[in-house]
Structure 1
Amino acid sequence: MTTSDANATAVRDELKSRTLSSIFWSVLRVAWSSLATFLIFVVLARLLRPEDFGVFALASLFFEVGRIIANGGLPDAVMREHTLDEELADTAFWANLAFSVLIAATVFLLAPLYERWTQMPGVGELLRWLCLLMPVAALGGIHTARIAREFGHRSMAKQTLIVSTVAGVAAVSAAYLGFGVQSLLVQAALTNVLGALLAWYYLRWTPQWRFSFARLRQVISFSAGMMATQLLWVLMVRVQDLFISRVHGAAAVGQYRVAWRTIELIGQIVLAPIGSVSLITLSKLQHQPDAFASAYQRLIGGAALVGLPLLFGFGAIAEELIAHVFGRQWAGTGAIAEVLVFMAVPFVLNYISGPALAAINRSWTVLAVSALQLACTILLTWIAVPYGLVAVALAYVFRAYLTAPVQQLALCRGVGTSVASSLSSLSAPLLLSLAMAMAVWIAKPYLAAELGHGVPLILVCTLLGTALYVLGIATFARAITCRYLEPLKALVLHRNR
């Protein structure tokens, strides 16, 4: 082996180690955040009405759209840079802050018009308060991107622990004291303020007073593509709220959001950490096609190994779990969640394929795919919304499978991998997860006859599903599992030396 080959191998091993470490801390960070958020969400769901969640969901939709436009994809551009210079970092910081102030002022002025269009009293006032948080969030955006770029996910885990706990406790206290929907505003405010403060604390970097239009132009194509893609992604997920609000009212929006929130929880715990690290890791391999393809397949397989059984397993007991955890006012939400889990395969792929395309500077390809997904979502939702919330969920699942092949073909052309290799990474976890969920679904009526429909049934079904999936993996997919656990084992042994 030549010296250059040895150096390249050492660099890849170091990148693999840092990637696995970052995934570990990202999983820990998101797991804590999701657990804390979920527990707080459960308490808030019992203290607040579905209408409160519906009104806040409509206000936060416009806020999220404005925030994404204000960011302009600049944090992603900073993370993607192979070698980051301070002039670009300073430029990105001041551009992000300036855009945020401008967009916040625009949203503030448009809030009354948005309220009249949604026909939901109170949406405009909430939106005006939320838009004041845009510049605050922008103060920590580039700092957080730089922390992530250097695999500083341990610091990000600490930051998330503090922010989610403080903001959540404050929101529950406000709801208990009778503040109603304003409790959710309290949570959003503390999340953004504390997040920005801690980002500056963990990255002791003070931007200099300089701005380079030339440096901004060098990344504007990528950042604009990422911004547009994120915007389309949010609209794709949330545009259904607008249809539901006009046909079925705020309470229906709240029910649909809660069903979605339970699905998103699984994605945030196990898929979002892998997706966030994917962009950084794959960006560093963008000039090594073979290594890139290998890393991509491992990321897809690892995401499927843990994501698919959680999604399908949740679907098997969704109705009982949601009814027991959230209370009677959320009746019917479980049926929506049961339908949404069937989009599990494209749901998992989306978390990895998007970052993979972005890593090879195909942000405009991601944009085109996202535009197609949004257009199909709008059309199918418009057709389905008169028939109820379950029909809207079915429309979304159908859309997910309709557009997934387009995304995968675009990735194959850009990366050089194949659809067959991606499907092979998914096949074993998918088949075993489906078999497990079906077994739990068949056994559930018999178990309910003995245990009732409360906590004992939920616990037994969960244990049964876990045992069946682990047994299936050990029997039929041991080699695949070892493929993903071996690097983690090596990392642990390395840390213990």
Structure 2
Amino acid sequence: MSAGIWVEQAFNFIIFAILARILGVEAFGLLAMVAAFVLFSEFLVRETISDILLTRDALSPERLNSVFWLLALLGGVLTIALYLGAGLVSKFYNEPIAGELLIGLSPTVLMISLTAVPVAILRREMKFRVLAIRAALGAAVGGVVGIGMALTGYGVWSLVGQRLAMTATNIVMAWGAVSWRPAFHASRDHMRRILHFSHRILGLRAAELAAVQSPAVIIGAMLGPVQAGYYAIAWRVIETASFLMITPLRTVAQPAFGAAARDGDQAADLLIDVMRLTGFLAFPAFAGLAVLSEPALVLLFGQKWAPAAPVLSLMSVFGMYLCAEKVQQTFCLAAGQVGRLAILSWVEVALAAAAIVVLAPYDLPAVTAGFVAVFLLIWPLKFANLGHIAKLPGPALMKQHLAPFLLSAGMALAVFGIARQLDGMSQVLRLLIGTATGIVVYCLLAALFLRDRLRLLIAMVLRKEETGPEIDPQEVSG
């Protein structure tokens, strides 16, 4: 799964960098402003209602049919809503092309809703090789279409063509890999259970996407497409980095948590292991990115994107939060307990939106800092909720991330000192030397202070049956 996702994101990032050089800031800003509505709708049908198929409950044809038709209905309604709302979006942004772009992107919502069940079947059966090939092939086909359209003068519409081609490829691959086909026979009892589960997870997914897409909408409306473009490029880097690190682990962990619960094993032990690995791998990566944001942006996208460096540095802190929070969310989903998490997520959205509006008269870095601060302030409440579900102390779960955070901060200081000494040198050298320094420093610190996590990582990579002694809740609390 890791290999497939890394290949997919490598394709996506290379294509994104090429298109960013061809199209410029304003095109990406326009698409970010419009795509917020489409991505919000896609998220509601991607891994929402279909996640009930990954819980401990047994599958049946009636349950599969019920999930499929509910998703098809939801996808159709959302697609129509986007089409009808295109005019309002144009007026909201005062950009006539915004409505046209929204109409062009809207079919992806229905397309994704029709693919969610076969993807969930593949995940439940842990057929990750198929999912990996599907993701990589979709990215490659979409990239060819997008770059081809950009080179022939389609401008911002090349980004629309890329998205449509990628989604269509994913549909073909997913349905070709499963034998199940939908039928019209659905159970009323299953419908009732699915609706009971789905209204909570839909609320959670809506909050999750609103949290990362609402800034683009508000920034675009209050500061214009150029500032929205700078925010979009910084978020894209964070999104890609977090996707590379956490998505393979999250994708495998959710059905694994469910399988552990079905088999009567201690899913909490697996949660502790996954949390330890997440902080160990993600925190130093984002700490290094925070320090080396300017050379990274200039090297990847060109000098015109350098003003986004302060935003990327601040968003790197959000990247740490995002990776760790995804693990928490995955465990709650597998346990079928997402009600409190959804409420906390909507509190984050409301407070973050208010912070953005209040700080918008200042500048984009101030807006970003306020946005990130809100999520960090709410985070302890999410740990408390996770502890309640896992029957472990919330503060003890928070401590799992303390050591990697402190070591990552120490590594970042070392990289910052080296980077200061390299002022005046080329951005490529600054990035290479800074990255090498960060890797060496963190590996040395990990060898001294986090040997248990190194052993855990090696054990999981080598697929050993035993990854270490079982975790006692009392030991964790100590």
Which TM bucket (shorter chain)? over 0.9
Residue 387 of structure 1 aligns to a residue whose secondary structure is coil
| Equivalent position SS for 1:83 | coil
Give the letter for the 2:297 counterpart.
I
User: Are 1:317 and 2:292 matched, yes or no?
Assistant: yes
Shift of the alpha carbon at 1:119? 2.0
> In structure 2, which of residues 413, 435, 439 is the aligned counterpart of residue 466 of structure 1?
439
User: 2:38 maps to which residue?
Assistant: 63
State the 1:278 CA deviation.
Answer: 2.4
Aligned to 1:348: 323
Report if the CA contact (8 A) 1:120-1:250 is conserved.
Answer: no
2:428 matched residue in structure 1: 455
Query: What is the distance in 1 between the residues matched to 2:21 and 2:459?
Result: 43
- SS of residue matched to 2:52: helix
Aligned match of 2:457: 484
Q: Distance in 2 between matches of 1:311 and 1:255?
A: 18
**Counterparts of 1:203 and 1:491 in 2: how far apart (Å)?**
30
Shift of 1:357: 1.5
Q: What one-letter code is carried by the residue in structure 2 that aligns with 1:459? A: L
CA–CA distance in 2 between the matches of 1:378 and 1:481? 39
Residues 387-406 of structure 1: per-residue CA shift (max 9 Å, x gap): 11101110122112111011
Moved more, 111-120 or 305-314: 111-120
Deviation at 1:419, TM superposition (A): 2.6
Of 377, 380, 398, the residue aligned with 2:373 is: 398
- Is 1:71–1:96's contact at 8 Å kept on the other side of the alignment? no
For 2:124, the equivalent position in structure 1 comes to: 149
Q: 2:229 aligns with which of 250, 254, 264?
A: 254
User: Is 1:108 equivalent to 2:83 in the alignment?
Assistant: yes
1:277-292 to 2 correspondences below 5 Å: 277-286=252-261, 291-292=266-267
Between 379-388 and 113-122, the greater mean CA deviation after superposition: 113-122
* 1:84-163 alignment runs, 5 A limit: 84-163=59-138
User: What is the Cα deviation at residue 71 of structure 1?
Assistant: 5.7
- Alignment partners' CA distance in 2, 1:369 and 1:30: 29
Q: Is the 8 A contact 2:411 2:441 kept in 1?
A: yes
**Residue 200 (structure 1) aligned to one of 175, 199, 206:** 175
1:363 maps to which of 320, 338, 348? 338
Stretch moving more, 433-442 or 213-222:
213-222
Query: 1:82 pairs with 57, 78, 86, which one?
Result: 57
Q: Deviations over 1:152-200 (max 9, x none)?
A: 1110011111111111121111111111100100111011111111101
Pair 1:120–1:289, CA change in 2 (3 A): farther
Amino acid at match of 1:317: L
Give the letter aligned to residue 146 of structure 1: I
Show CA shifts across 1:52-83 (max 9, x none).
11111122111122234456822111222531
- Tell me how far apart the structure 1 counterparts of residues 228 and 132 of structure 2 sit (CA, whole Å): 32
Task: Answer with 183-192 or 351-360: which moved more.
Answer: 351-360
Aligned length: 467
Q: CA deviation at 1:142?
A: 0.6
Residue segments in structure 1 that go unaligned for 5+ positions in a row: 1-24
Post-superposition Cα deviations, 1:82-129, rounded to whole Å, max 9, x if no partner, equal 311111101211221122122211221111112211222211111112
**Contact residue 78 and residue 84 of structure 1 kept, 8 A:** yes
| Aligned counterpart, 1:425 | 400
Q: Which residue of 2 aligns with 1:303?
A: 278
Identical columns (%): 22
- 1:30 equivalent to 2:9? Answer no
**What is the DSSP-based 3-state SS (H/G/I as helix, E as strand, rest coil) of the residue aligned with 1:215?**
helix
Change (3 A) 1:443 1:68: closer
Which AA in structure 2 matches 1:325? L
Residues 119/440 of structure 1: CA separation in 2 closer, same or farther (3 Å cut): same
Q: What amino acid is the match of 2:431?
A: I
| CA–CA separation in structure 2 for the residues paired with 1:479 and 1:405 | 25
More displaced 10-residue stretch of structure 1: 288-297 or 359-368: 288-297
Letter in 2 for 1:83: A
| Equivalence for 1:212 | 187
Query: Which residue in the other structure is 1:43 paired with?
Result: 18
